[in-house]
């Protein structure tokens, strides 16, 4: 779908048909990517694709206090997994430190920057407030010579952290806070993951970003709405240096998803608090989490296309993502039979010790997917949810006296139940109709209910993990008085230790996806061990069960 940024680009192309549309995805390597980043990735790389341009993968690594090489690797993995490629356009802001420094010197020479020796607190106070102008720093009128001297000595490591900063000389009374002599460079005696100890001064984002964009020949610099106020500074930097070109910054709204948070800081907090198992916990909105959960990358790309790009605050319902996942999985994911909460069913008139193998299609809507053998016998498991002693209206499953179809196998009729000492049903007894072999009878009688099942003698025990939203609140940030960790959904993960699956899943590799018929899509989790298969529920099948209606 075409959006306002496409329109801007098309207009630019109209004016200059030879233009190589160039974008960039500029993450800071200080955490893992989430689906909000996916929106930006799809936008930037997508535009390059559509307009035959280029997209740079650029790490915005200007703050060694927060960044690390591990995150760099993880981010590259995530972007590739999503399906994008940057060819030889992998860059780092730190690649440009020397040029950035030279431009800073240029700014000083042109009296557009000065070394300020106010401490943080003093600077904060002199900046004024939203409604009051700031006041000039007492160091604002240092001579060019002195500024140059101090800046060189800042670089050479002569001063401790915080002693001085380099500031742009703009306007302390600007109504835009970003223009009140913003800091360009600060001293940080901190090794950098790429440049090690080569630098002890590091450039700030606004300065770095504008110049890095210019250096790469970015034509359209796309960022989120909170940088709208920074655009004048972005433009100022490019206007007051000999930058090779002047990219256009365009802002769009960030993605918010219901029942989760989309902030690296808050996600880090959840990981550190142990609220989740890690960055790749399948409940996390991170790309790593979604990958582990089993979401196909194509589903996420589809999602990003569906939600569009605007400047309006965007809060999307989970159902959109889930439906993208289902639609992506449905046509290609092989089917399997498995029960999550098993209850034993004995077919009284089926001989003990006799088993037969049914040939079952791997994908009922796609014959080319082939078939597999599934064993059947006198004792099977069905799901607890498929039996009710006292069924409500429109319950199509099994209950005393009713006949249902066991998928691809036989019709069975419930003739009774056994109870344990607590009075709980321990076993369901049925009889089967031999004429119904394969799932149909000669009299063509209609059977409304069809249940999935697993032969008890052949069942493969497994652990199944079911997921719900991480938070119980639609927007966990809406009420700042409630701690994030107090809004966690207590049932965000349900671990079922006694799932029973068809034995064909025995050696399924980690990452294998399967649809457990009538339940949902599942993915073999990395916690799987030789003797313990672990399945994540990717997403449940949509269901149209009658809902409880107010009577």
What is the spatial distance between Cα 227 and Cα 235, in angstroms, rounded to a whole number? 12
Residue 311 or 507 with smaller CB distance to RNA: 311
Residue 175 or 416 with smaller CB distance to RNA: 175
What is the spatial distance between Cα 491 and Cα 206, in angstroms, rounded to a whole number? 42
- 432-451 residues near RNA, rule: CB under 7 A: 438-440, 447, 449-450
- 345-364 residues near RNA, rule: CB under 7 A: 363-364
Q: How many CB atoms lie within 10 A of CB 363?
A: 17
Residue 115 or 524 with smaller CB distance to RNA: 115
Among 14, 365, 421, 530, binds RNA (CB under 7 A): 365
Residue 281 or 386 with smaller CB distance to RNA: 386
Work out how close the CB of 134 gets to RNA at its nearest, in angstroms, rounded to a whole number: 8
Q: How is residue 105 written in tokens?
A: 């010197």
Instruction: Tell the residue number behind the tokens 């319950």, with chain if given.
Output: 395
Among 138, 162, 370, 461, binds RNA (CB under 7 A): 162
Question: Residue-wise over 255-285: b if at least 16 C-beta within 10 A, else e?
Answer: bbbbbbbbbbeebeebbeeebbeebbbbbbb
- 282-301 residues near RNA, rule: CB under 7 A: none
Work out how close the CB of 72 gets to RNA at its nearest, in angstroms, rounded to a whole number: 13
Collapsing DSSP states into helix, strand and coil, what is residue 362?
coil
Q: What is the DSSP string of 309-326?
A: --SS-EEE-HHHHHHHHH
CB 355 within 8 A of CB 375: yes
Work out how close the CB of 396 gets to RNA at its nearest, in angstroms, rounded to a whole number: 4
What is the spatial distance between Cα 253 and Cα 494, in angstroms, rounded to a whole number? 34
What is the spatial distance between Cα 439 and Cα 145, in angstroms, rounded to a whole number? 91
144 binds RNA (CB under 7 A): no
Q: 406: which strand partners?
A: 451
- 451-510 residues near RNA, rule: CB under 7 A: none
- Write out the catalytic residue numbers: 28, 254, 264
Residue 11 or 273 with smaller CB distance to RNA: 11
Q: Which stretch binds RNA (CB under 7 A): 180-188, 237-245, 347-355, 373-381?
A: 180-188
Among 18, 88, 131, 442, binds RNA (CB under 7 A): 131
240 binds RNA (CB under 7 A): no
Residue 86 or 376 with smaller CB distance to RNA: 376
CB 169 within 8 A of CB 142: no
What is the spatial distance between Cα 218 and Cα 427, in angstroms, rounded to a whole number? 68
Using CB under 7 A, count the residues that bind RNA. 92
Among 158, 229, 424, 479, binds RNA (CB under 7 A): 229
Q: How is residue 21 written in tokens?
A: 């549309």
Handedness of CA 434, 440, 441, 445 (dihedral sign): positive
Among 34, 60, 151, 287, binds RNA (CB under 7 A): 60
Residue 55 or 451 with smaller CB distance to RNA: 451
- 4-43 residues near RNA, rule: CB under 7 A: 4, 7, 26, 28
Work out how close the CB of 385 gets to RNA at its nearest, in angstroms, rounded to a whole number: 9
Q: Give 18: exposed, middle or buried? Use CB within 10 Å, 0-12, 13-18, 19+.
A: exposed
Among 283, 326, 402, 493, binds RNA (CB under 7 A): 326
Instruction: Write the CA distances from 169 to 108, 188, 343, integer angstroms.
Output: 9, 22, 75
What is the spatial distance between Cα 338 and Cα 140, in angstroms, rounded to a whole number? 73
Among 228, 384, 418, 483, binds RNA (CB under 7 A): 228
- 92-121 residues near RNA, rule: CB under 7 A: 118-120
Taking residues 383 to 422 in sequence order and writing x for each that binds RNA by CB under 7 A, - otherwise, the string is -----------xxxx-------x-xx--------------
313 binds RNA (CB under 7 A): yes
Among left, alpha and beta (phi > 0; psi -120 to 50; other), residue 444 is left
320 binds RNA (CB under 7 A): yes
Q: Give 287: exposed, middle or buried? Use CB within 10 Å, 0-12, 13-18, 19+.
A: buried
178 binds RNA (CB under 7 A): yes
Q: Which stretch binds RNA (CB under 7 A): 75-83, 181-189, 275-283, 496-504?
A: 181-189
Work out how close the CB of 415 gets to RNA at its nearest, in angstroms, rounded to a whole number: 20
Handedness of CA 369, 373, 378, 381 (dihedral sign): negative
545 binds RNA (CB under 7 A): yes
Q: Which stretch binds RNA (CB under 7 A): 146-154, 320-328, 481-489, 504-512?
A: 320-328
In degrees and rounded to multiples of 5, residue 148 shows phi and psi of: -60, -45
- 505-544 residues near RNA, rule: CB under 7 A: 515, 517-518, 541-544
Q: How far is CA 344 from the centre of its chain?
A: 39
Q: How many CB atoms lie within 10 A of CB 412?
A: 28
Work out how close the CB of 420 gets to RNA at its nearest, in angstroms, rounded to a whole number: 25
- 205-224 residues near RNA, rule: CB under 7 A: 205-206, 208-209
Residue 195 or 277 with smaller CB distance to RNA: 195
Collapsing DSSP states into helix, strand and coil, what is residue 477?
coil
């Amino acid at each position: 779908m075409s959006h306002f940024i496409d329109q801007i680009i098309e207009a630019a192309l109209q004016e200059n048909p030879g233009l190589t549309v160039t974008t960039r995805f500029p993450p800071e390597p200080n955490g893992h990517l989430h689906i909000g980043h996916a929106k930006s990735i799809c936008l930037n790389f997508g535009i390059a694709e559509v307009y035959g341009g280029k997209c740079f993968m650029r790490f915005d690594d200007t703050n060694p206090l927060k960044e690390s090489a591990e995150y760099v690797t993880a981010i590259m993995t995530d972007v590739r997994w999503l399906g994008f490629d940057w060819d030889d356009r992998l860059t780092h802001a730190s690649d440009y430190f020397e040029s950035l420094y030279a431009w800073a010197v240029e700014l000083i020479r042109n009296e557009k920057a000065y070394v300020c020796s106010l401490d943080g607190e003093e600077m904060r106070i002199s900046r004024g407030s939203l409604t009051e102008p700031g006041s000039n720093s007492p160091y604002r009128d240092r001579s060019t010579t002195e500024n140059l001297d101090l800046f060189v000595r800042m670089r050479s490591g002569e001063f401790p952290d915080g002693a001085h900063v380099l500031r742009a000389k703009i306007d302390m009374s600007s109504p835009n806070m970003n223009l009140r002599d913003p800091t360009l460079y600060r001293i940080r005696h901190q090794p950098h993951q790429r440049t090690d100890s080569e630098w002890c001064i590091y450039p700030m984002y606004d300065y770095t970003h504008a110049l890095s964009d210019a250096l790469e020949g970015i034509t359209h610099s796309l960022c989120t709405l909170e940088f709208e106020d920074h655009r004048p500074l972005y433009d100022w930097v490019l206007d007051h240096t000999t930058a090779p070109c002047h990219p256009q910054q365009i802002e769009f709204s960030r993605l918010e998803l219901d029942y989760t948070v989309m902030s690296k800081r808050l996600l880090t907090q959840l990981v550190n608090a142990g609220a989740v198992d890690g960055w790749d916990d399948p409940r996390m909105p991170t790309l790593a989490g979604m990958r582990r959960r089993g979401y196909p990358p194509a589903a996420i790309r589809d999602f990003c296309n569906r939600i569009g790009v605007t400047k309006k605050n965007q809060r999307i319902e989970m159902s959109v993502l889930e439906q993208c996942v289902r639609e992506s999985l449905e046509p290609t994911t092989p089917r399997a039979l498995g029960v999550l909460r098993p209850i034993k069913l004995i077919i009284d008139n089926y001989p003990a010790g006799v088993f037969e193998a049914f040939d079952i299609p791997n994908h009922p809507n796609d014959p080319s997917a082939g078939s597999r053998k599934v064993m059947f016998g006198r004792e099977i498991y069905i799901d607890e949810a498929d039996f009710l002693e006292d069924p409500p209206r429109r319950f199509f499953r099994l209950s005393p006296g009713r006949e249902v179809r066991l998928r691809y196998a036989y019709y069975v009729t419930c003739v009774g139940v056994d109870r344990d000492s607590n009075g709980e049903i321990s076993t369901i007894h049925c009889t089967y109709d031999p004429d119904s072999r394969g799932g149909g009878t000669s009299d063509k009688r209609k059977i409304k209910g069809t249940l999935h099942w697993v032969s008890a003698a052949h069942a493969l025990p497994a652990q199944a993990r079911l997921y719900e939203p991480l938070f119980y609140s639609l927007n966990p940030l809406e009420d700042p008085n409630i701690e994030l960790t107090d809004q966690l959904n207590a049932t965000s993960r349900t671990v079922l230790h006694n799932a029973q699956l068809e034995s064909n899943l025995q050696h399924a590799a980690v990452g294998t996806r399967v649809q457990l018929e009538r339940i949902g899509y599942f993915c073999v989790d990395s916690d799987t061990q030789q003797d313990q298969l672990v399945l994540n529920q990717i997403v449940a099948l949509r269901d149209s069960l009658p809902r409880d209606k107010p009577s």
